[in-house]
Amino acid sequence: MLSLNTSPALASGYAGSEHRDHLGYGAGRCVCPGIHLAERNLIIGVAKLFWAFEFLNPPASDNDISAHSGASRGFLHCPEDYGCAIRPRSPKKRDTIMRELAEAQEVLTQFD
């Protein structure tokens, strides 16, 4: 027989919460129970971006992308805004992106 234990004390054990390097998914009893799914989807998304595109400094740019001087200080440590040139890694990858976009739009238009 299956039983459901809804004790909020269980949430603190998700993904080794005492070893986490950020609190983006909450903490303690308020941690997101879907943290594993969210992090894996983010990793897949970022990997696809790196597969498809080159992220470059724009020509004649003086962007400061240093982790020390190119980031904000305070409660949240975030990179400062900077320019970026984004381009497909190859014509073949561009064709793949455009083909997948067209297929996705066919499916997603039914939800407009």
Domain ranges of the chain: 10-111
In 3-state terms the chain splits into helix, strand, coil percentages (rounded to 5) of 50, 10, 45
- Give pLDDT, residue 53: 97
- Give pLDDT, residue 30: 77
Q: What is the pLDDT of residues 69-96, one digit of tens each?
A: 777 777 777 777 777 889 999 999 999 9
CA atoms of 64 and 33, how far apart (whole Å): 37
Give the torsion sign (CA, 65, 44, 41, 102): positive
Mean pLDDT along residues 40-66: 86
Can you say how many angstroms the Cα of residue 24 is from the centroid of all Cα atoms in its chain? 11
How far, CA to CA in Å, does 45 sit from each of 3, 17, 49, 75? 35, 23, 6, 26
**AA identity, residue 44:** I
Predicted TM-score (pTM) of the model is: 0.65
